[in-house]
Amino acid sequence: MIQRTPARIEAHLSDHEHRSWQQVLSESVTCPEELLRRLELPAESWLSAAQQGHQLFSIRVPEPFLARMKKGNPADPLLRQVLPLADETDHAPGFVSDPLEESAAIATTGLIRKYRSRALLMVTGQCAVNCRYCFRRHFPYEDQRLSPDDRKRVINTLAASPEINEVIFSGGDPLAVNDRLLAQWVTAISGIPHIRRLRLHTRLPVVIPQRVCDELLTWLSATSLQVVIVLHVNHPAEIDTATRRALGHLRAAGVTLLNQSVILRGVNDCPSVLEQLSETLFDAGVLPYYLHAFDPVAGAHHYDVPDEESRHLVRELLTRLPGFLVPKLVREEPGKECKTPINLFP
Ligand SMILES: *Cc1c(COP(=O)(O)O)cnc(C)c1O
Ligand code: SF4
């Protein structure tokens, strides 16, 4: 590896749009010192906590996402999603490592089945960005690495389950995997007659817009399955011109675009931000889908917003937006057959 000088890093910032997504992904910032230096934040105030958090769940921020943050602002809503704070090492009662008890719902290695008609396939444990509040930050992904035999078992399980009509590629981030492997999965799945829809839960088109490359668009356009992509955007500043263009390509390939957000203290716990998020998403061709109440994951209690406040926020959105731009406020509860809607007018 060539040691990069600061001058080269700056050059690289301006030309990241012309690089392949694999290159951009591999050049993500994964070091606490570099993250702080790039954002011009003083190490004295932030480094020790960042390093401690990094030990628990490593820092990972791709360049295009970093480039949308404001320098010198520790409260930047994008930075807040990726920079570990001292609060991560606090122990808060009720905040646990597997809040959704997903380990109990594994149908076969790599396949999580909680709901009747949809099965969730953990294509990879890798993500392009490590979000501090992620409910999977403690998930034992190592156990979920799929061998060719595991893959056969997944396809056999799906083929033997006629109630399943939709397969959700999840992870990690399924688009962190190369298109050759994804296309193989899709070919195998589209051979199962009762499966009609393919859904991808991904942040990649947002954090690395180059991920929407010709190879991806080729298999997306070619499949006989209906494709839905559910993005994960929490703040309107996450969507820039390059993202907008990438989303336009996905729409042109016939993909339905939806978005899910998590309500997060200090990121989007404000009616104007959520209003602007819905407007910006729709402008980019994306409909809001879910607004998730915070899952009580250990190390992330400082993002928690109480239900009473979330209800108030969404009631406020109802007065500001057309109904189709108001996301559904839900919570995922272990053992339930669907997401649980949170009653806005209890
Ligand atoms: C959220 C989730 C789904 C999808 O639920 P929808 O309500 O259809 O979006 C499917 N499987 C699992 C395990 C999930 O957590
Ligand atoms: S699974 Fe989603 S929320 Fe979790 S770290 Fe990856 S991109 Fe972020």
For 170-219, write each residue's pLDDT tens digit: 989 999 999 999 999 999 999 999 999 999 999 999 999 999 999 999 99
Q: Answer yes or no: is the C-beta of 136 below 6 A from any ligand 1 atom.
A: no
- Average pLDDT (56-76) is 97
Ligand 1 atom with the smallest distance to the CA of 100 is 15
Q: Answer yes or no: is the C-beta of 203 below 6 A from any ligand 2 atom.
A: yes
Given a contact cutoff of 8 angstroms between Cβ atoms, the answer to whether 285 and 315 are in contact is no
Ligand 2 atom with the smallest distance to the CA of 170 is 1
Cα(202) to centroid(ligand 2), Å:
8
CA distances in angstroms from 295 to 46, 96, 196, 330, listed in the order given:
25, 9, 30, 11
Q: Answer yes or no: is the C-beta of 275 below 6 A from any ligand 2 atom.
A: no
Cα(58)–Cα(128) distance, integer angstroms = 12
Residue 308 clears pLDDT 90, i.e. is over it: yes
Ligand in nearest proximity to the CA of 138? 2
Cα(309) to centroid(ligand 2), Å:
24
Q: Answer yes or no: is the C-beta of 232 below 6 A from any ligand 1 atom.
A: no
Ligand in nearest proximity to the CA of 174? 2
Q: Answer yes or no: is the C-beta of 29 below 6 A from any ligand 2 atom.
A: no
List 167's β-bridge partners, or say none: 119, 198
Ligand in nearest proximity to the CA of 201? 2
Site to probe by mutation for ligand 2, drawn from 129, 261, 267 as the one with most ligand atoms within 8 Å of Cβ, is: 129
Ligand 2 atom with the smallest distance to the CA of 127 is 6
Q: What angle do CA 123, 235, 308 make, to 5 degrees?
A: 100
Predicted local distance difference test score (pLDDT) of residue 2? 43
At position 162, the amino acid (one-letter code) is P
Cα(135) to centroid(ligand 2), Å:
8
Cα(346)–Cα(311) distance, integer angstroms = 9
Residue 11 clears pLDDT 60, i.e. is over it: no
Cα dihedral 104, 110, 112, 113 in deg (nearest 10): -110
> Model pTM?
0.93
Predicted local distance difference test score (pLDDT) of residue 265? 97
Q: Answer yes or no: is the C-beta of 173 below 6 A from any ligand 2 atom.
A: yes
Q: Answer yes or no: is the C-beta of 114 below 6 A from any ligand 1 atom.
A: yes
Q: Answer yes or no: is the C-beta of 113 below 6 A from any ligand 1 atom.
A: no
Cα(201)–Cα(170) distance, integer angstroms = 5
Closest C-alpha among 306, 196, 209, 205 to residue 257: 205
Closest C-alpha among 235, 46, 200 to residue 118: 200
List 201's β-bridge partners, or say none: 230
Cα(2) to centroid(ligand 1), Å:
43
Ligand in nearest proximity to the CA of 331? 1
Ligand in nearest proximity to the CA of 129? 2
Residue 230 clears pLDDT 60, i.e. is over it: yes
Q: Answer yes or no: is the C-beta of 289 below 6 A from any ligand 1 atom.
A: no
* Residue 144 banded pLDDT, cuts 50, 70, 90: low
Give ranges for CATH 3.20.20.70 in the chain.
Answer: 95-341
Closest residue by Cα to atom 8, ligand 2, is 131
> Structurally, what CATH architecture does the domain formed by 95-341 represent?
Alpha-Beta Barrel (3.20)
Predicted local distance difference test score (pLDDT) of residue 143? 53
Cα(64)–Cα(244) distance, integer angstroms = 13
Residue 134 clears pLDDT 60, i.e. is over it: yes
CA distances in angstroms from 61 to 26, 148, 297, listed in the order given:
10, 31, 21
Cα(7) to centroid(ligand 2), Å:
31
Predicted local distance difference test score (pLDDT) of residue 93? 83
